[in-house]
Chain A
Amino acid sequence: MKKSATKTRDQGASQQKTRSNDRFKSYLDNHKRVARESWLRLLRNPISNLMTWLVIGIALSLPGGLYIALGNLESISEHWDGDARISLFAQQSIAEEDLRKLIKKLQLRSDVASVSYISPTEALNNFQRQSGFGNVLENLTNNPLPAVLVISPQIQRGEAVEALFNELKAMPQIDQAILDLEWVQRLHKIMKLGQRFTITLAFLLSVGVLLVIGNTIRLAIENRRDEIIIVKLVGGTNAFVRRPFLYTGLWYGFGGGVMAWLIIMFALQALSKPVAELAGLYQSQFQLQGLGIADSLLLWFASSLLGLTGAWLAASHHIAKIEPR
Chain B
Amino acid sequence: MIEFKQVNKRYESGQDALKNLSFSIDRGEMAFLTGHSGAGKSTLLKLIMLMERPTSGQVIINQQDLKNCSSRKIPALRRDIGVVFQNHQLLFDRTVFENVALPLVIAGYSQRDIGRRVRAALDKVGLLHKEKQIPIALSGGEQQRVGIARAVVNKPTILLADEPTGNLDPELSSEIMQLFEQFNQVGVTILIASHDLSLIARLPHRMLTLRQGQLLNTPGASL
A237 at the A/B interface (Cβ < 8 Å)? yes
Query: Which residues of B are found within 8 Å of A18, using beta-carbon distances?
Result: 108-110, 113
Known: A1-B182, A18-B109, A29-B111. A233 touches B49 (CB 8 A): yes
Question: Once the chains bind, are B182 and A233 in contact (CB under 8 Å)?
Answer: no
Complex Cα gap A232–B79 (Å): 10
Question: Once the chains bind, are A234 and B187 in contact (CB under 8 Å)?
Answer: no
Complex Cα gap A25–B108 (Å): 9
Question: Once the chains bind, are B110 and A9 in contact (CB under 8 Å)?
Answer: no
Which A213-244 residues sit within 8 Å CB-CB of chain B? 227, 229-237, 240
Least CB distance from A183 to B in Å reads 64
Which A1-43 residues sit within 8 Å CB-CB of chain B? 1-2, 5-6, 8-9, 12-13, 15, 18, 22-23, 25-27, 29-30
Question: Once the chains bind, are B120 and A234 in contact (CB under 8 Å)?
Answer: no
B216 at the A/B interface (Cβ < 8 Å)? no
Question: Once the chains bind, are B185 and A2 in contact (CB under 8 Å)?
Answer: yes
Known: A18-B109, A30-B108, A323-B51. A9 touches B155 (CB 8 A): yes
Question: Once the chains bind, are A227 and B91 in contact (CB under 8 Å)?
Answer: yes
Interface size class of A (residues with CB under 8 A): 20 to 34
A325 at the A/B interface (Cβ < 8 Å)? yes
Question: Once the chains bind, are A233 and B110 in contact (CB under 8 Å)?
Answer: no
Query: Which residues of A are found within 8 Å of B85, using beta-carbon distances?
Result: 233
Query: Which residues of B are found within 8 Å of A12, using beta-carbon distances?
Result: 117, 154-155
Q: Which residue of B lies closest to A3 (CB)?
A: B186
Known: A231-B102, A234-B83, A234-B150. A26 touches B186 (CB 8 A): no
Question: Given A2-B185, A12-B155, A234-B78, 18 other A-B contacts at CB below 8 A?
Answer: A5-B183, A8-B120, A8-B155, A9-B155, A9-B187, A15-B109, A18-B110, A29-B110, A30-B108, A232-B75, A233-B85, A235-B77, A235-B78, A235-B79, A236-B106, A237-B106, A240-B106, A323-B51
Which B residues fall within an 8 A CB radius of A? Answer: 49, 51, 75-79, 83, 85, 89-91, 102-103, 105-111, 113, 117, 120, 124, 150, 154-155, 182-183, 185-187
Q: Across chains A and B, which 7 residue pairs bring their CB atoms closest together, nearest first?
A: A235-B79, A12-B155, A235-B78, A5-B186, A237-B75, A234-B103, A235-B75
